[in-house]
Amino acid sequence: MAGSPLDGVSDRAAAVCLCFEVPQATVLAAARAGRAAQATVILDPSPYAAVPAELAECVDALLVNAHEARQMVGQLIGEAEPSTAERDWLRLGAAFAALGFKRVIVTLGAQGAMLPRHLRSPAGPRRGGAR
């Protein structure tokens, strides 16, 4: 894309942070450029819209609030606010993994944020620390 804002991404970017305030074609092009540059690609699908599979493949971390998470994977995280039960977060992580996401951060307002686990180790669910 000669002459585009994406020129030089490989020279400068450690991370590419994206949202849906621009056309999704632009977001996809930026995600692909970030991926090609080996930058970490972070997507906040806000204002909310479904994330196409081809974009999900380029995303290293998805950043959603509880409402957006519910819109993406249904009622797995409860009617009002997400449960803090580990089994619920494991199910949520598995649902996001099925959509093609590697890491997900769910923001919970004043309650902080959760990073659902997608996989279990042979010893069972892991607690704390980075994945």
Q: What is the pLDDT of residue 94?
A: 83
Condensed to tens digits (0 to 9), the pLDDT of residues 55-114 reads 999 999 999 998 898 888 875 554 445 555 666 777 788 888 888 888 899 888 888 888
pLDDT given at position 108: 85
Average pLDDT of span 36-55: 93
Q: What percent of the chain has pLDDT above 70?
A: 69
**pLDDT greater than 50 at residue 127:** no
End-to-end CA distance of the chain: 34
Classify the C-alpha dihedral 55-56-61-66 as positive or negative.
positive
Is there a contact between 85 and 109 (Cβ–Cβ < 8 Å)? no
Q: Check whether 131 has a pLDDT greater than 70.
A: no
Q: Residue 58 and residue 35: Cα distance in Å, rounded?
A: 6
